[in-house]
Amino acid sequence: MTDEPHRHESTPDEHGRNRVRKSAEAYRTISEVADELHVPQHVLRFWETKFPRIKPLKRGGGRRYYRPDDVLLLQRIADLLYIQGYTIKGVQRLLRESGGLLHDEIPPASEEERAASAAERARADIPAPPAPRPDRLPELPIDPAPATSNPGHAPAAMPDADSAPLERARAATALLRAAMASVLAELEDLRASLDK
């Protein structure tokens, strides 16, 4: 089979690099996916070992080519891990329990799942991991990726499809940044007073 991953026209990316812009259906290399998700490459490989459902195409030399489906799934995993605060186990269970459902259909944090995940955390005594300051950060429900409910059509991957959850994630990130900046300022003050 000549499953040559298809590329598309080339345009400079936001960094000015002349990067190949791919269509929604295009296959992506690990570096592209890592860039897109803001996750280091080794983390993607690590996830591959933890989530058997992540199965990028491998071509000669062992190079990975991620399908849009894979990218979506990875996006969802990243969201659950980093935004929702699930553990890998929790995400694994979500995927398992969601049966055949994939990325765009991972049960949007039903009460049971929330409870199960909370129970798991309680058992492990995990304090709501990336411990976003509860008094400041907005609740980010596992988005049901509503826009993706156009079965058989353009992959949910692309911009508008997921923009709402993306916006929420961005808002949360901005708040986190602000919180971290103030913590950093405090630490610097402390250090300054210690240096005296």
Q: Does residue 88 bind DNA (CB under 7 A)?
A: yes
Closest contact distance (angstroms) between CB of 104 and DNA is 21
- Least separation, in Å, of the C-beta of 170 and DNA? 20
Q: How far apart are CA 22 and CA 1, in angstroms?
A: 21
Q: What are residue 178's DSSP bridge partners? A: none
Contact pattern from residue 43 through residue 82 relative to DNA, giving x for each residue in contact according to CB under 7 A and a dash for the rest: x-xx---x----------xxxx----------------x-
Rank residues 81 and 83 by Cβ distance to DNA and give the closer one: 81
Q: How far is the CB of 43 from DNA (least distance, A)?
A: 5
What SS3 class is residue 191?
helix
The SS3 assignment for 28 reads: strand
Evaluate whether 80 touches 90 at the Cβ level (below 8 Å): yes
Environment class of residue 6 by beta-carbon count within 10 Å: exposed (0-12), middle (13-18) or buried (19+)?
exposed
Q: Of these, 42, 170, 177, 191, which contacts DNA (CB under 7 A)?
A: 42
Nearest to 137 by CA among 78, 186, 180: 180
| SS3 (DSSP) at 7 | coil
Residue 148 is given by DSSP the state G
Q: Out of 14, 111, 125, 195, name the contact with DNA by CB under 7 A.
A: 125
With respect to DNA, which residue has the nearer C-beta, 44 or 145?
44
Span of 85-93, 135-143, 147-155, 162-170 interacting with DNA by CB under 7 A: 85-93
Return residues touching DNA (CB under 7 A): 29-32, 40-43, 45-46, 50, 61-64, 81, 87-89, 124-125
